[in-house]
Amino acid sequence: MKTQELTIEGMTCNHCVMHVRKELSKLSDVIIEDVQIGKAKVQFDEAKVSPNDFARAIENAGYKLVIGH
């Protein structure tokens, strides 16, 4: 399992945190360690989950994953 911190644009409040947590929880093989305004810390199996999966989940919540920060 790999641990990674994701940087997320557009989050401004605790409702944003709830939306991101809900969408990330739909990904199998992902453990959500923490979600805060502007970031999320996750553990995942690199063989089963890709950065595109995270980007899609975060976009479904209405925000944008910052890649390569």
Mean pLDDT over residues 6-28, rounded? 96
3-state secondary structure of 69: coil
What domains sit in the chain, N to C, each tagged with a CATH number? Answer: 2-66 (3.30.70.100)
pLDDT band at residue 69 using 50, 70 and 90 as cut-offs = low
Mean pLDDT over residues 13-36, rounded? 96
pLDDT score recorded for residue 6: 96
pLDDT > 90? residue 68: no
Mean pLDDT over residues 52-58, rounded? 96
* Cα–Cα distance for residue pair 53/21, rounded to 1 Å: 14
3-state secondary structure of 4: strand
